[in-house]
Structures are given as C-alpha cells and as structure tokens.
Chains A and B, each alone.
Chain A
Amino acid sequence: MSIVHFAGASGDRAKRDAQVAAGQQLPGVHAPGKPKFDWKNWLLDNIVTLIFWVFIILGFVLAEGVTINWFLTELCNRIYRNAFLVLALIIPVVAGLGLNFGIVVGAMAGQLAVVFVRYHDIGGFGGFMLCMALALPIAIICGWLTGTLYNKTRGQEMIASLIVGYFGNGVYMFIVLFLIGAVIPVQAGHPMLLPGDVGLRMTVDMGTIKYALEDLVKVPFAPFMVVCGALFFLYLIWNQFFRKLKPGQERMNKLKFIVYAALSLAVAVIFLVADITDSALTMVRKVPLGTVAVIVLLAVFTKWIMTTKLGQDFRSCGQNQHIAESNGINVDRTRIVATIISTVLAAWGMIIYLQNIGTLNVYTAHTQIGFFAVAAVLVGGASVSKATVSQALMGTILFQSMFILSPEIGQAVFGQAILGEYFRTFMVYGVIGLALGLYVWKANKQSKLRLDDPEDPMDKTVAEVVSGK
C-alpha cells in the first residue's frame, strides 16, 4: 500500500489509508485476523429478529390461555401453509431484484388455475395436480411480463413490484368479475357464478381438493419430531467430523455446532419422553408428510440451483450488474428467469396454501400474501440483498408465532382481541419498513465510508470505466 498521496480530492482517502497502514481500526471495519465481537453492529443486524423473539416470549408469559399443544398445532399448520410462498422470495433476492412483492401476481395465477379446475368440478389429488399444471403457463407469462418490467424500473424494483401487485389485482378483478361470463362463455346458472352469469362469486369451495396434498400420508407428530431431531443431530456430527471438505468450504464454528447439536438432541429426547409418557405434546395434529416433502424439496432445489451455472449467474447479477454483463452474462435475461421462477413458485405456493385453507376467497385471498411472505423472510434475518433457505424457514416460524399470539395478548392484556389484530398489522408493515430502512441506512453509511465521490475517477468501478460511464 502506498503511503504517498496527492492532496485534494483524495485527501480523505489518504487519511484513511494512512490509518489502516498505521494499524488503527476504522469505525465499522474489522482489521483482518483480529475478529472482535461488535455488539452494536450485531444488534443492528438482528434487531428485527430480536424484537420478534422478545414479543413471542412475552406472549407466552402474558397469554395464559395458550396451551403448548394448541400453539404447536396452529404453528405447524401455518408453516405447512406458508413456507412454500416464503421460499419463493429467495431467488429474486439473490439475483439482486430485492424482495419480490410481485409474488402476488403469481398467487393470482394460481387462483385462476384453481378457478378453472373447480369450474369443471375436478377434485381430489388429480385436481390438485391439474391446478399445478395449469398454473405453470399462466405464471410463466406473468413472470416474464413482471421481469421485463423490473428491467425497465431498475433500482426501483421493490416499489415497482408492490405497484405491479396492485396493477395485477386490477387486471385479475377485471377477469374474474367481468371477462368470465361477459367474454369467456360459461354455463348459465353455474353455482360459482354471480346471479346474472357474469363474474364469479366471492368464495369458491375447494371441494375435495381440500387437503388433497395434506391427506396423502400422515404421521403422528411426536415420533416425527424424534426422527427429525435425531437425523439433524447425525447430520451435524457427520458434517463436523467425517465430511471431506471441498475447497472453499468451512466447518461450522464450534459454539454454533454445540448449540445446534444440543438443541436437536433435546428436541429428540423431549418428544421421545413425551411419546412414552403420552403427555400433551402428543396431542399436536398429525404431520402431513406430503406437504413437508414438497417444502423440503423446494428448499433443496433452491440450494441446488445456486450451485449451477444459472445460480452463479443470479449471484453475479446480484453483486454487480456491470461486472456480470462484462463477463458475458445476459443480465436482463437472468433477471427475468429469476422473476419467472419466483412467480411460478408463488403460484404453486398459493395452491398449496388454498388446499390447506379449503375455500378460495376469489377477491381477496391474494392481497396480503406478498406482505406476509416478505415480513416473514425479513424476520428470519434476511435483507434486500441476502436471503437463505434457513432464514426463510426460521422467519416463517417466528412470524407465524407472532401471528398466533398477538390476538391472545390483546385479549389477555387489554380485553380486546381486535387490538391484537391491529397490532399484528402494525408489526407486518413496521417490520418491513424497519428492516428495509435499516438496510438502506447502513448501505448509505458504508458508501460514505468508501468515500464515494462521483467526480473522483479513482472511485469508479472497473466496469464503469470499461463501459465508459
């Protein structure tokens, strides 16, 4: 590192370099090789997750009517319902599109497929699979359109994705309230239609599609948890002691390993004891292996796709579009592919959600999906530029726990359940606002630390110089 610097524009940089050379630690920058735990930054990074933990613990203390088996039944049910939708958000984040509120569009595509299948009164698992198949082409087209839009609103993708959800809602309502019946021919007097045979009624019964996936295979909860805990424990042991590392891979740090191993072992033992003694924990609803398998499959798929060429392209686009482009990646195409995958997953996620609920509320079922999924993934510790499968799953658990507990808290503390519901809404929007705000604030602070000066040619990235901007 050179110590000699020119005065003037790069003066601050000179000072900074000199500081580094002298071995002083800069605020917010760790000197390499000397990892020191920075409480303040850690707190800032995890504030949203922490708020939720505190809230949930408080909830258990305050709301006395909540029994553990009721809570676990509710929570698991909500996880089966929502996890798929939350996982649909990961790929756009990695590809640098931010949090895709546009999954609402995918949800509407899924609903249209459900409407078609139910109109022809097809039920059962076959009907469910037909919904999935029909949703695929609709979602691909919608995803392609939204992806193209995101390319045209670069830098504003998140607000664009929110607005495109509202715009899509308008188009969707036009289809379900007007086109069906007025333009698309329908059978007069069909029970799904409004009187007058134009437009759909508010609710569509899912018929035998309800629980089509859930009822495939069911296993009791406690043994399931014992097996899960034991398997995870064995995986940890293998990962820590027996796995041959590929270059670039690292073992888990010791503390993390011990905590995880202890937790998984504890889960296995607790549920084993519960199963033997027949305690309240065995009263939790049976586990639908089908849904769990689908969620696990999607998690594995998301992890797998990141190791492929396409996944690498996603990551390159997410890190720096200039550099990705100059490395021969078709950035626009890659971003559209990411959006299409997300939209298709959202459509499927919505169908899984609906088969769990049992009725489709045609006009409103999709409206909150985007907010809830985004809030969940943020609560798991994800940010605009980074999201992982474990964050999505952890976030779903925390977020849904809050959702179950807040009316109970409202009832217990204020005697008004509605207050808890308003509080819940506040948490959803507040979490999104807080997490996004903190992210931008930190990013801005860091760019100041980098002493970004648009007039300073030294500050241009390589690609900016190459592209001549």
Chain B
Amino acid sequence: MKKIVERIGIPTLAVTAMLVIVLITAAIQGQSLQTLFSDMLNRAGMNGLLVLAMVPAIKSGTGPNFALPIGIEGGLFALVCCMQMDLGGWKLMICSIALAIVLCTLMGYAYGKLMNCVKGAEMTIATYTGFSIVAFFNILWLVLPFSNRKMGWMLGTGLRETIQLDSFEAGGLISNLLAFQVGKITVPTGMLLLLGICCVLVSYFFKTKAGLAIYAGGVNPQFALAAGLNVDRGRILANILSTVLAGIGIIVYSQGYGYAQLYNGPMMMSFPAVAAVLIGGATAAKANCMNVVLGVFIFQGLMTAAMPVANQLFAGTDLSDIMRQIIQNGVILYALTQVKKGGDR
C-alpha cells in the first residue's frame, strides 16, 4: 500500500481524491455533470500547452519554468502585432503563432543564457525574471504606437486590459475546429489535438540525440560534461523550447477564453502551470508528457468543477479561488521539500 502511494505520489492522489469528492458533491447537488465535463475539457485544453512548457525545462535540469510569463508575453506580443495589421480568423491564428515562435525563440535564448549564469538558484531568479518581464511589457502596452481601434481604449493611448478576440473573428477558432458533441458534452477537438500533437513532438524530441543529450545533462551535469556533451547549450535549447511552447500556449488559451489578457494578466500564470505538472506526478527534476496530460486534466478539472459546487454550498464566498491558492501553492511547496538534498544539509 505504502509502495503504491509512493509510486503515484501524494499530490496526485490527494488532488484526485478531491476531484472525485467534488464531482460526487456536484452529482448530489443535481448539477449537470455533462456541462461540467464540457467545461473541464475546455479548461484543460486551454491550459495544456502552458503546462507542457514545463517538461523541457524540468528535463534539462533548470527546474520548473517559473519564468513562463516570458513566453506568454512573447505570444501576446505576437498576437497583438498581428491584430495591429488587422488580420482576422485563421490568418490571425496562424500568423500570430508563427510570429510567436520567432519571438519566443529569441527570448528563450536570452533566458537560457541567463539560467546558465545563475545555476543553483534557477527557480528564484526565474520567478523574478518573469515578474520583471510582465512589468516591462506593461510599459510597452502603454507606450508602443498601436493604432487599431479595436484594441485601444476609448480615450487616451495604450492598449486595453482585455482585447476581445471575437472582434477579429478568432474567438474559439481552434477549440471549435472539428468539435463534436457526445450527449451534451462538447469536445474541443482542435485544442486537444494540438495538445496531443505537441506532446508527441516533445516526447519524440527527447528520444532524438539532441533531446537525450539535454536529458542526460539534466540528470547528471558532471557526468554529461565528462561524456563530452555541451550541457549549457542543451539547457539553452530546452528553455527555448519551453518559451516557444508558452508562446503558442497563450495564443491557444486566449482564443479558448475569448479574450487576450494584457497587463498583469500573465503575472501569476506560471504557478498553476507548475502545480498542474506536479499534480500529474512530476517532480522538480523529473517530468514527462504523461504528467502534463494527467496533471492538467486533474487540476484544471478540479478548479472548473469546484466553482459551481462551492458557489452552491456557500453562496457569495470565493471559496473555489481560495482552494485553488491553497492547493496550487501547497503542491509546489511539497515539491520543493522533495528537491534533491531537500531535507539534509
């Protein structure tokens, strides 16, 4: 019994148990489970790529990518630039994703360089790098001469806090692609398919020579160095991949949500993503795509399902958001106690 618990991991078990309890409560309350499942699938699909971005970073040994906002801001910037050119529909999606890949590659390269300078304290520095980037882009959103009326304030200069994607005919574009219904459950095929493809690609990448070299550098840098592998380059490559995934991830998220959230929206986005991959069974040093898929469905599923349940139980209190904070940060703290040499000196 103890062995099974250890194998699956306490966070996974605990959060899954919570999800089951919440779903049972929802059933007792007479909530429509089918609507609930639809929402859960949608939310999981929206967040999937952001969570997947953790995998390369963890595998390369830099730990969970707390600097996710870097990639997110890159993606948002690409999206906003394409909106400025007044592209619409699929053109907007594809162009912004392409531009996001280019931008995030550059940003990821710089970020990877930084991570190589601060070995041993990556997580702390990454968090503040992420925060600073958000604050920096706050200034950019305000100062850059974007002129498309659909995304400016009614008065004054600068971009709006949230830009509606529907005004560019791009809301829910990927989610609704090939979407179908089972009973009342809507399956956002496009998003899930994209997540699946990216998972397969990332898994495949870590089976190639370059990917294996990165992984080896993450597991034991000294050994990898002795074997003639360029560990630093591998870490840069992995962080580029992570940043690019975050950039695409936020575009997918925005179209699923219907709005692009600028300004302080991305500030805290790394924490739920880190928590999700940890709930899926990853640690600060070990992660794979299975962890991502499991984690995002359990964690985002719980968050989605908990909201209506908590609202019905205790109307008016924001209990589900409080629960999110406690679970999310509790899981991260638990993972930190498990970091190599965690408890001992």
Contacts and interface: CB of A to CB of B under 8 A. Distances in A.
A305 B318 CA distance: 44
Given A167-B325, A430-B132, A440-B121, A153 B339 contact: yes
Contacts of A437: 114, 117-118, 125, 128-129
Contact of A173 (B121, B142, B322): B322
Interface in A427-446: 428-430, 432-433, 436-437, 440-441, 443-444
Nearest to B114: A437
A198 B317 contact: yes
A61 to B, nearest CB: 21
B337 A153 contact: yes
Interface stretch (B28-36, B97-105, B180-188, B328-336): B328-336
A199 interface: yes
Nearest to A424: B135
A154 interface: yes
A426 to B, nearest CB: 4
A418 interface: yes
Contacts of B271: 163, 166
A197 to B, nearest CB: 11
A449 interface: no
A429 B131 contact: yes
A163 B128 CA distance: 13
A194 interface: yes
B136 A426 contact: yes
Contacts of A182: 314
A125 interface: no
Interface string B234-246: 0000000000000
A425 B342 CA distance: 32
Interface in B196-247: 222
Contacts of B66: 159
A414 interface: yes
Nearest to A467: B345
A419 B132 contact: no
A185 interface: no
A318 to B, nearest CB: 13
Given A433-B132, A440-B118, A178 B345 contact: no
Contacts of A379: none
A334 interface: no
Contacts of A196: 316
Contacts of B339: 153, 155-156
A440 B125 contact: yes
Contact-residue size bin, chain A (C-beta under 8 Å from the other chain):
35 or more
A444 B326 contact: no
A444 B125 CA distance: 14
Contacts of B323: 170
A159 B117 contact: no
Contacts of B222: 454-455
B329 A170 contact: yes
A422 B142 contact: yes
A159 B318 contact: no
Interface in B106-133: 114, 117-121, 123-125, 127-129, 131-132
B129 A154 contact: no
B138 interface: yes
Contacts of B333: 149, 153, 160, 163-164, 167
Given A174-B326, A436-B125, A155 B341 contact: yes
Given A174-B322, A177-B322, A419 B139 contact: yes
Nearest to A428: B135
A72 interface: no
A17 to B, nearest CB: 24
Interface residues of B, number: 48
A426 B318 contact: no
B269 interface: no
Nearest to A196: B316
B193 interface: no
Contacts of A208: none
B143 A414 contact: yes
> Which interface residue of A163, A426, A432 has the most chain B CB atoms within 10 A?
A163
Contacts of B114: 437
Nearest to B135: A426
Interface centre among B119, B124, B134, B341 (most CB of A within 10 A): B124
A331 interface: yes
Nearest to B284: A156
A197 B341 CA distance: 47
Contacts of B129: 433, 437
Contact of B138 (A167, A425, A433): A425
Contacts of A419: 139, 142-143
A433 to B, nearest CB: 3
A463 to B, nearest CB: 9
A316 interface: no
Interface string A256-299: 00000000000000000000000000000000000000000000
Nearest to A162: B127
Given A178-B322, A198-B316, A454-B222, A430 B118 contact: no
Interface in A145-171: 149, 151-156, 158-160, 162-164, 166-167, 169-171
B322 A436 contact: no
Contact of A426 (B120, B139, B325): B139
A153 B336 contact: yes
A388 interface: no
Contacts of A426: 132, 135-136, 138-139
B325 A169 contact: yes
A177 B342 contact: no
A422 B342 CA distance: 37
Interface in A359-416: 414, 416
Contacts of B120: 155, 440, 443-444
Interface string B299-339: 00000000000000010111100111110111011001101
A166 B329 CA distance: 7
A166 B322 CA distance: 11
Nearest to A420: B139
A423 interface: yes
A429 B132 contact: yes
Nearest to B226: A455
B117 A441 contact: yes
B344 interface: yes
Interface in A442-462: 443-444, 454-455
Contacts of A355: none
Interface of B: 66, 114, 117-121, 123-125, 127-129, 131-132, 134-136, 138-139, 142-143, 157, 222, 271, 314, 316-319, 322-326, 328-330, 332-333, 336-337, 339, 341-345
6 contacts: A152-B343, A163-B336, A331-B345, A422-B135, A422-B139, A433-B132
- Top 3 nearest A-B pairs by Cβ distance? A170-B325, A433-B128, A426-B135
Given A163-B271, A443-B120, 13 more contacts: A155-B339, A156-B124, A163-B329, A166-B271, A177-B318, A177-B322, A178-B322, A422-B138, A430-B132, A436-B128, A437-B114, A440-B118, A444-B118
Interface of A: 149, 151-156, 158-160, 162-164, 166-167, 169-171, 173-174, 177-178, 182, 194, 196, 198-199, 321-322, 325, 331, 414, 416, 418-419, 422-423, 425-426, 428-430, 432-433, 436-437, 440-441, 443-444, 454-455
